[in-house]
Structure 1
Amino acid sequence: MAIIAQLSDIHLAAGRDGEVDDGSGPVRALRAAVSSLLSLPARPDAVVLTGDLADGGRPAEYARLHALLSPLPMAVYPMPGTHDDRDALRAAFADHPAVAASGDGAAPQAPVQYAADVAGARLVCCDTTVPDEQYGRMDAERLDWLDRTLAEEPARPTVVATHHPPYPIGIRFIDDMGFADPAAFAEVIARHPQVVRIISGSVHRGSVGSLAGTVSTTCPSTYRQLFLDLTQPGRAAVTGEPAGFAVHLVSDDGSATTHFVPTGNYRPLMDVE
Structure 2
Amino acid sequence: MAIIAQLSDIHLAAGRDGEVDDGSGPVRALRAAVSSLLSLPARPDAVVITGDLAESGTAAEYTRLHALLSPLPMAVYPMCGNHDVRDELRKAFTEHSAVTDTGLYPQAPLQYAVDVAGVRLVCCDTTVDGHSHGHMNEERLGWLDRTLAAAPDTPTVVATHHPPFPVGMRFIDDLRFVDPAGFVSVLSRHPQVVRVISGHVHRASVGSLGGTVSTTCPSTYRQLYLDLTAQGRAAFTGEPAGFAVHLVGDDGSATTHFAPTGNYRPLMDVE
TM-score (norm 2): 0.99
Tell me, in whole angstroms, the C-alpha distance in 2 between the residues paired with 1:115 and 1:106: 19
Residue-pair matches, total: 271
Q: In structure 2, what is the equivalent of residue 220 of structure 1?
A: 218
Q: In structure 1, what is the equivalent of residue 91 of structure 2?
A: 91
Q: Deviation at 1:212?
A: 1.2
Q: In structure 2, what is the equivalent of residue 72 of structure 1?
A: 72
Tell me, in whole angstroms, the C-alpha distance in 1 between the residues paired with 2:106 and 2:130: 15
TM-score (norm 1): 0.98
Q: Deviation at 1:109?
A: 1.1
Q: In structure 2, what is the equivalent of residue 8 of structure 1?
A: 8
Q: In structure 2, what is the equivalent of residue 20 of structure 1?
A: 20
Q: Which runs of 4+ in 1 moved over 2 A?
A: none
Q: In structure 1, what is the equivalent of residue 188 of structure 2?
A: 190
Q: Deviation at 1:229?
A: 0.3
Q: Deviation at 1:108?
A: 2.7
Q: In structure 1, what is the equivalent of residue 249 of structure 2?
A: 251
1:149 aligns with 2:147: yes
Residues 122-144 of structure 1: CA deviation (Å, up to 9, x unaligned) = 00000000000010000000000
Q: In structure 2, what is the equivalent of residue 230 of structure 1?
A: 228
Tell me, in whole angstroms, the C-alpha distance in 2 between the residues paired with 1:96 and 1:38: 21
Q: In structure 1, what is the equivalent of residue 260 of structure 2?
A: 262
Q: Deviation at 1:97?
A: 2.1
- Percentage identity across paired residues of the two chains: 79
Q: Which runs of 5+ in 2 are unaligned?
A: none
Tell me, in whole angstroms, the C-alpha distance in 2 between the residues paired with 1:261 and 1:122: 23
Residues 239-259 of structure 1: CA deviation (Å, up to 9, x unaligned) = 000000000000010010000
Q: Which runs of 5+ in 1 are unaligned?
A: none
Q: In structure 1, what is the equivalent of residue 175 of structure 2?
A: 177
Tell me, in whole angstroms, the C-alpha distance in 2 between the residues paired with 1:210 and 1:152: 25
Q: Deviation at 1:100?
A: 1.6
Tell me, in whole angstroms, the C-alpha distance in 1 between the residues paired with 2:7 and 2:41: 18
Q: Aligned to 1:109, what secondary structure does the other structure show? A: coil
Tell me, in whole angstroms, the C-alpha distance in 1 between the residues paired with 2:65 and 2:97: 17
Q: Aligned to 2:228, what secondary structure does the other structure show? A: coil
Q: Deviation at 1:52?
A: 0.2
Which residue among 136, 147, 161 is the counterpart of 1:138?
136
Partner letter of residue 33 of structure 2?
A
